[in-house]
């Protein structure tokens, strides 16, 4: 598979390293902001920045190139209509398979919180000081999973939470790659689930997994759909006794 990369930042550079080590991929080009866009690839990774996503999507649709988008902080309300069945587009705020697992477990924690009104669910998000969006796309995804399991929480807030709001805490400091916690705080006990990335290689490897999975498909997809094929058997295990 001949691939290309938009963005020479942390994620783009990590993806380039993983592509170089992959026997089934060839890196045709790797460009940064304002550089001319070549063509002639099967799939492109967008690891650039939010404002560039619409332009890169338009290029992908015009050239018939599949696109894997790992940028956060952007929205296109008509994205699905734009993509249609013309190409394959996969989007994700986080390409870690472990985070996809954490989202499923966050749904379970939300359901557990729904059993007891004294249990307060929450999400925390810590990234390096230069990360632009707050909360992160991953934190929003985890918050959505918690709220899906706990109907009394219908919105999230970074401020003082009302009874219907899920508290989301954000820290932007240091050089943290990404640390997320989903927790339950009750009068008698606290339960926390934490994911901490030690290297951006984990996100790059997930991006390559997404590229291999989406190639040959048509339409709009998420990394969660890709991860489903790997993770769902874990939730279908029989009674070990």
- Candidate list 30, 56, 131, 195, residue with the active-site label: 131
How many other β-carbons are positioned within 10 Å of the β-carbon of residue 146? 27
Best CA proximity match to 231, nearest among 102, 46, 114, 118? 102
Among residues 56, 126, 127, 153, the one annotated as catalytic is 127
User: Is 30 assigned a catalytic role?
Assistant: no
| Residue 6: C-alpha distances to residues 36, 42, 56, 131 (Å) | 11, 14, 8, 18
Catalytic status, residue 126: no
Alpha carbon distance 4, 12 (integer Å) = 10
Q: How far apart are alpha carbons 155 and 146 in whole angstroms?
A: 10
Active site residues: 127, 131
């Amino acid at each position: 598979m001949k691939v290309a990369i938009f963005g020479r930042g942390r994620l783009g550079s990590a993806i380039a390293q993983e592509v170089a080590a992959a026997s089934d991929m060839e890196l045709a080009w790797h460009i940064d902001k304002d550089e001319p866009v070549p063509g002639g690839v099967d799939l492109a990774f967008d690891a650039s920045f939010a404002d560039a996503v619409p332009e890169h999507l338009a290029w992908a649709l015009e050239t018939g190139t599949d696109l894997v988008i790992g940028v956060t902080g952007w929205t296109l309300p008509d994205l699905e209509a734009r993509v249609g069945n013309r190409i394959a587009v996969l989007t994700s705020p986080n390409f870690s398979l472990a985070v996809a697992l954490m989202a499923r477990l966050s749904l379970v924690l939300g359901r557990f919180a729904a059993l007891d009104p004294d249990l307060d669910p929450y999400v925390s998000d810590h990234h390096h000081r230069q990360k632009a969006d707050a909360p992160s796309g991953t934190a929003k995804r985890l918050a959505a999973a918690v709220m899906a399991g706990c109907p009394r929480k219908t919105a999230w807030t970074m401020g003082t939470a009302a009874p219907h709001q899920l508290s989301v805490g954000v820290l932007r400091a240091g050089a943290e790659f990404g640390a997320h916690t989903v927790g339950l705080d009750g009068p008698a006990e606290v339960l926390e689930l934490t994911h901490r990335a030690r290297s951006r290689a984990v996100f790059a490897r997930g991006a390559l997994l997404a590229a291999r999975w989406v190639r040959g498909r048509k339409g709009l997809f998420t990394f969660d759909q890709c991860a489903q094929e790997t993770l769902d058997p874990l939730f279908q295990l029989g009674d070990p006794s």
